[in-house]
Amino acid sequence: MVAPSYGRGPTRRAEHDRTVRARPRPLCHAVPMVTSPATTPNVLVLVVEDEPAIATAIARRLSAEGWRVEMALDGHAGVSMASTLRPDVVVLDVMLPGLDGLEVCRRIQAERPVPVLMLTARDDETDMLIGLGVGADDYMTKPFSMRELVARTKALLRRQERAARAAEIDTGTGASLPPLVVGDVAVDRAQRRVHRGSAEVHLTPTEFDLLVTLVSSPRTVLTRERLLAEVWDWVDASGTRTVDSHVKALRRKLGADLIRTVHGVGYAFEPSEPADGNGRTGGTEGTGT
């Protein structure tokens, strides 16, 4: 049985997505709650998507999970609703009239960090966005299945809960997680800051989580499926591309020498200094290539 997919227009070309409709479009409206038993009744999802049919289909499906869903049909409405409604997760289309998804994501994240699932038109567009460090937590290429959308949204919510719990434990005990120091890379998990040698490296939240996972098992090959499970908290073959794209972005920021590709399997963190835990600094600087 083939699950219906959403986001497929008359053609799959990105041009289609850029088509500006002439008909008037309301800025935003709420989707009536579906009265199914809610396991997580307080979750609020903001959907920013200018195609009303897709926005409504997404909203209906997410409402069926027992979540509250609000829709914004353009970028400016998305930014302002994220600010006033303080959603738990944002589903954000990249091609929006006026203010595009990249800028919406930046503005939303600048005001308050919130998990963002970005909808893109093509796989290479996803690579490009990850490369730009836009800061979305996950990416889905149109057309996509609603089942996958729900799975990924749930995974983002689990990640968020996990991070909140970790912060709570930290605050409660007054103790912070010790920094990870491998070779010339130092990862401060409490402050979420990364240095290579004496240079600070700025990572997006997802890049940071991926680096922590890799650095925690130096010189060990981690499969893409394992990285997907540990960082994104879900497993599906379609997600391994996200892993590849984020590794590419990490390499560019930290230096290509640190992460080894094991073709067809996964990745290994290869520190440039012996992993003696002495935290030697001043080693090879990331070249940023």
Cβ-proximal residue to Ca ion, closest one: 95
Between residues 129 and 201, which has the closer beta carbon with respect to Ca ion?
Answer: 129
Q: How far is the CB of 155 from Ca ion (least distance, A)?
A: 23
Is the bond preceding 143 in cis, omega lying within 30 degrees of 0? Answer: yes
Cα Rg of the chain (Å, integer):
20
- CB closer to Ca ion out of 119 and 180: 119
Task: Name which of 17 and 125 has its Cβ closer to Ca ion.
Answer: 17
Q: What is the x/- site pattern for Ca ion, positions 122-151, by CB under 5 A? A: ------------------------------
Count of residues interacting with Ca ion (CB under 5 A): 4
Binding mask 2-41 for Ca ion (x = CB under 5 A): ---------------x------------------------
Near Ca ion by CB under 5 A: residue from 50, 65, 127, 209:
50
Q: Least distance to Ca ion from the beta carbon of 50, Å?
A: 5
C-beta of residue 197 within 8 angstroms of C-beta of residue 212: no
Closest CB to Ca ion among residues 17, 184: 17
Using rule CB under 5 A, residue 74 touches Ca ion: no
The structure tokens listed for 186 are: 């130092």
* Nearer Cβ to Ca ion (21/165): 21
C-beta closer to Ca ion: residue 15 or 200: 15
CB atoms within 10 A of CB 58: 27
Binding mask 84-123 for Ca ion (x = CB under 5 A): ---------x-x----------------------------
HSE of 209 in the Cβ direction (CA atoms, 13 Å)?
A: 20
The residues of the shown chain that bind Ca ion, judged by CB under 5 A, are 17, 50, 93, 95
